[in-house]
Chains A and B, each alone.
Chain A
Amino acid sequence: MAVQENLYLGSFPRRPDAARLELVYETFPRLKERAGQHAGTLSGGEQQMLAVGRALMSSPSLLVLDEPTTGLSPILAQEAYAALAALRRDGLTILVAEQQVPLALDLADRGYVLDHGRITLTGSSEELANDPGVRQAYLGV
């Protein structure tokens, strides 16, 4: 299926909304360039964009992402987070599980450190970024 058709499916069972589609294309201009292309022929990063874009088509109030940067190059990961930051500015609530802690803490208001399924530490992103344990374990300082 083409990229655009994949996006349309995101609004299932409602009709795709043109304004919403425009928003997704604004967030991920790459998807607009490839609107007619088969989704299977996209690069890994583009497919991630498409997955997020498809989720956005349903006008969600909460976007849940599980390691959206998996398999992305550092530059692409940064681009992905820039797009997420733009969505956050527009008022979307985002819950993201991420191993790349600096990226996630830059984006988030609050963070939770999970260890074997339990929350071991919680606080505002700033507090976490300044926590000696977190700095040592995840920030490489």
Chain B
Amino acid sequence: MTAVLVDGVVLGLQFAILGVGLTLVYGLGGVVNLAHGQMAVLAAIFTARLMDNGLPTVVAAGVGVLGIGLLGIVLDRTLMQPVYRQRGEARILLGLLLMLGVGFVIDGVLEWRYPIEALNLRIAGEPFTVGGLKIRRGSIVASGAAITVGLMLVAFFRYTTFGRATRSVIQDEEGARLCGINPSVVRTVIFGLSGALAGVVAITQSMTSPVVSTAGVSLTIFALIVAVVGGLGSVSGAFLAGILLGVVNTLSAFYIGTFVSSIILVVAAAVTILFRPQGILGTG
């Protein structure tokens, strides 16, 4: 039971980082990035290819994460520009459809070029024993990385000028503009950050189980559910929801079955939308 719980928290931390990336981009520009999971998988396959070509793991992972961050920046500067010119529902719909298309393209390319490629960074060695509980090395490293990234995000949003500027745009774009903040620059940088976060999740995920080239859609769905339950636009909400849903997912997969656990996650999202549409920590 405790071992399952630990697995759940490990998975939840990955979910959380994935959800934060999605929620940030939505909060800033109203774009629901339906290619978020595909971007993560792209980073994973890119990293795997670099390793096949002889790059050391750490370098390959770094390049993979930065590369997908760069893709995020490029997407924001090109494909997303007509989206940001729209207002209200039109913007949300256009952003959603365009990113859905990007997701299809990434999925298609991966299936065409690298159908059996996968990133597997399983860390060898004896499991650690913490308080009589055996925890795999991969889980420890993955959680450590996710927690570090999470703390860095909190510090970024709380203590840096750019982080505060980002929050101000999420809260009130007009007000931010009046303070001399350029929302467009903030959006671009954060889209890049969101991509890099997806890359980080791909790397940490592959430490406990291989990330295959077809995993994109399910990762996108996880990210979406986490962002909805946490409240679209709320970073702390996404974090809490990620861990919560990770535990729920792992517990139900262990005691009932994988298929049922997916249903339970979707039900969690549906119940949230019905009873608390702003999410567990969202406002307004």
Contact = CB atoms under 8 A, between A and B. Distances in A.
B167 A1 contact: yes
A85 interface: no
Given A1-B164, A9-B164, A12-B164, 5 more contacts: A5-B164, A8-B161, A9-B181, A13-B181, A15-B161
Contacts of A54: 179
B155 to A, nearest CB: 14
Given A1-B167, A1-B168, A1-B171, A10 B179 contact: yes
A55 to B, nearest CB: 9
Contacts of B241: none
18 contacts: A1-B168, A1-B171, A5-B167, A8-B164, A9-B165, A9-B176, A9-B181, A10-B179, A12-B161, A12-B164, A12-B165, A12-B180, A13-B161, A13-B180, A13-B181, A14-B161, A15-B161, A16-B161
Nearest to A8: B164
A5 B176 CA distance: 12
A12 B171 contact: no
A12 to B, nearest CB: 5
Interface in A38-54: 54
Interface in B132-188: 161, 164-165, 167-168, 171, 176, 179-181
B167 A12 contact: no
A13 B165 CA distance: 9
A15 B163 CA distance: 12
Contacts of A16: 161
Interface string B3-27: 0000000000000000000000000
Interface in B161-219: 161, 164-165, 167-168, 171, 176, 179-181
A16 B161 CA distance: 8
A8 B168 CA distance: 11
Interface residues of B, number: 10
Please classify the interface of chain A as helix (H, G, I), strand (E, B), loop, or mixed, using the class held by over half of its residues: loop
A54 B171 CA distance: 17
A41 to B, nearest CB: 12
Contacts of B176: 9
A8 B179 CA distance: 10
A9 B172 CA distance: 13
B169 to A, nearest CB: 10
A12 B168 CA distance: 11
A5 B179 CA distance: 12
B224 to A, nearest CB: 27
Contacts of B171: 1
Contacts of A58: 180
Interface string A1-25: 1000100111011111000000000
Contacts of B167: 1, 5
Interface string B219-263: 000000000000000000000000000000000000000000000
B165 to A, nearest CB: 6
Nearest to A38: B283
> Which 10 A-B pairs give the minimum distances between C-beta atoms?
A9-B179, A12-B179, A12-B180, A9-B168, A12-B181, A5-B164, A12-B165, A8-B164, A9-B164, A15-B161
Contacts of A12: 161, 164-165, 179-181
A18 to B, nearest CB: 14
Nearest to B165: A12
A7 to B, nearest CB: 10
B66 to A, nearest CB: 24
Contacts of A15: 161
Nearest to A15: B161
